[in-house]
Amino acid sequence: MKTAKKTSEEISSIVSDEVENIPLQNGNDELAELRRLLVEPEQVGEVLPTAITQSSQRDAQLSKATLPLVEENIRQSVIRNPDVLAEALFPAIGPAIRKAIAEALSQMVQSLNQSLEHSISPKGLRWRIQAWQTGKSFAEVVMLNSLIYRVEEVFLIHRDTGGLLQHVSANKNISEDADMVSAMLTAIQDFAHDSFKETENAQLDSLQLNDFSVWLERSPDAILAAVIRGNAPLQLREIFEEAIEAIQFVQREDFENFEGDTTKFEKSRPMLDNCLQFQLNQEEKESRIFSPFNVLAGVLGLVLLVFGFIYIRDYWRWSNYLNRLKTEQGIVVVESDLGWWKDSISGLRDPSAINPVEILGEYGLQTKNVESDWRAFQDLSPQMILQRANKVLQTPEGVKLSFENGILTANGNVASNWLNEAKKLSTAIGGVNEFRLGDEALKTKIESNSVLFNCGTVDISDGQSVKISEIIKDVELLADSGKNWQIEVRGHADSSGTMDVNSQISQQRAEKIVQELVKSDKLKTLVQSFKTIGIGVSEKSDCKVDFKVNLAK
């Protein structure tokens, strides 16, 4: 404030001195009034802003004169309270920093992608050596070797003012100062036109800047400037000419009414984008696809895919085969190995179990590719003993074997000849301690027997003692079963005698057989389990005694 006040006072003093030198024209009163208006601080404050504005428009002398004062004021403000300046700059600094970081990261990612694409190929190694020899970056060397040409940027410049109307770039992640480039191109063009013109219509068509060339095309109101990397064909100029002609035609009125508003030229952007042409090296493109490295990688990938498929298929088959063997009775898998060329398996096998070699084909496995080593053993589990018994005894239809606690039991319609053979062979079956008939089988066998008598008497016929002994054994087995049972011993007579005689003799015959049965030590106390019945003469009467067995349910 002191500085501003001092400046105001200095200006007032200068003005006062000038006023005093004005010749007296209209009298002392008018001169005094004029001096008051110009010298008073209040009046100076009213006219000072206008005077400063007019001075800045005329020249830069006022700016140069006040620059030290402004810099000193800013320095004093920062020393006194830096938060004021920080708060003022925060809205602009934050977005600027974020934009700079985003652009730097984007450029880094793009460069990394280009580098990774070529870094592991043989050609990429050669390019790395080239980059090391020339001092260029690897990404730049990749670009130079991969492209014939590429239009990097296109500028649309107003022909009269040199102002930038539109700008497009092939690299969307790189932001250039397009206005500065536009001004530079305009200045170069004017310089060339003024310095080297041979005719009034002489114009600059192109210029070379290191690895870039700039091509210029004109319309009555605009200039199209294209920055090109590489060696572009002359046919590219036709694209530029068509673009500038189309822009001139579409935006003719916008050019005529142009007053500095560039937003109207947004509709020319698609035509400028069409100018961003490029052409890859065809040999490079093909070599990138069919390079030795890619071919080798493809072959290795295919080989791995084939081997992977074969391994997964064989593993699935082998696993199903092993799971089947592990659930089979009489099979114990000790070791198994799934190999690349041959598989191997070893373990123990009961002779009555399935043959593991015979079921290989069910799982798509070949015998020649599997080494099997099975050692014989006897599986004493009840299931395997029963399976072994059926195989050894060749159990006929209608007969069912069961095994429990070392006892092999036959049930059903048991024939005498098979029963006798089964009794002999059962002792050779591992785990079988005893062979017997089941309750139903004993019932059927006892009821199938009969004891013959001499007709007209109660005397047992000759040769029936063996049959009686067999019946006694069967009844003893029935007694050992632990079930409640009763045997009806039924006597029969022929029709040679009277009815009373036949009834009496048939009863006596039944009692005679019971007496024979209870001679067994096991059956002595079981007399009440026998019931004698004298049937007399029946339809199929004969001189005999037969049996009917009743089992409690």
Whether residues 432 and 449 fall in one domain: no
Parallel, antiparallel, or unpaired: how do β-strands 212-218 and 331-337 relate? Answer: unpaired
User: Does residue 106 form part of some domain?
Assistant: no
User: Does residue 166 form part of some domain?
Assistant: yes
pTM across the whole model: 0.38
Whether residues 167 and 277 fall in one domain: yes
> What is the spatial distance between Cα 140 and Cα 234, in angstroms, rounded to a whole number?
25
Whether residues 129 and 194 fall in one domain: yes
> What is the spatial distance between Cα 276 and Cα 263, in angstroms, rounded to a whole number?
21
User: Does residue 241 form part of some domain?
Assistant: yes
User: Does residue 112 form part of some domain?
Assistant: no
Decide which of 281, 304, 326 is a domain's last residue: 281
Whether residues 141 and 223 fall in one domain: yes
Strand ranges for 430-494 from DSSP E:
434-437, 450-452, 485-492
Whether residues 262 and 396 fall in one domain: no
Q: What is the CATH number of the domain that holds 182?
A: 3.30.450.70
Decide which of 255, 281, 307 is a domain's last residue: 281
The sign of the torsion formed by the CA atoms of 402, 404, 408, 409 equals negative
User: Does residue 328 form part of some domain?
Assistant: yes
Decide which of 249, 281, 313 is a domain's last residue: 281
> According to the model, what pLDDT value does residue 121 have?
60
Q: Tens digit of pLDDT per residue, the chain (553 long)?
A: 444 444 445 545 554 554 455 454 445 666 666 555 555 666 666 666 777 777 766 766 777 777 787 777 877 877 777 767 666 665 655 565 555 555 555 555 455 555 555 555 666 677 778 778 777 776 666 666 666 888 889 999 988 888 888 989 887 655 556 667 767 777 776 666 666 555 556 677 888 877 788 899 989 899 999 999 888 888 888 999 999 999 999 998 888 888 888 888 998 999 999 998 888 776 554 455 656 667 788 888 899 998 888 889 889 999 999 999 988 888 999 998 888 788 899 999 988 888 999 888 888 888 888 999 999 888 888 888 888 888 888 888 888 888 888 888 888 777 778 878 888 888 888 888 888 878 888 888 888 889 999 988 889 999 898 899 989 988 888 887 777 889 999 999 988 878 888 889 999 999 999 999 998 888 888 889 899 999 888 766 688 999 999 987 6
> According to the model, what pLDDT value does residue 445 have?
84
Whether residues 136 and 219 fall in one domain: yes
> According to the model, what pLDDT value does residue 381 have?
85
Whether residues 131 and 246 fall in one domain: yes
User: Does residue 104 form part of some domain?
Assistant: no
8 Å CB contact between 478 and 439: yes
User: Does residue 105 form part of some domain?
Assistant: no
Strand ranges for 76-221 from DSSP E:
147-158, 164-169, 206-209, 212-218
Whether residues 129 and 277 fall in one domain: yes
Helix count (H) and strand count (E) of the chain? 18, 16
Whether residues 138 and 274 fall in one domain: yes
Mention every residue, 6+ apart, whose C-beta is less than 8 A from residue 168: 153, 154, 269, 272, 273, 275, 276
Residue 386 domain boundaries: 382-437
Q: What is the CATH number of the domain that holds 366?
A: 3.30.300
8 Å CB contact between 419 and 377: no
User: Does residue 102 form part of some domain?
Assistant: no
Whether residues 137 and 258 fall in one domain: yes
Backbone φ/ψ region at 330: left (φ over 0), alpha (ψ -120 to 50), beta: left
Whether residues 268 and 410 fall in one domain: no
Domains of the chain: total: 5
Whether residues 493 and 520 fall in one domain: yes
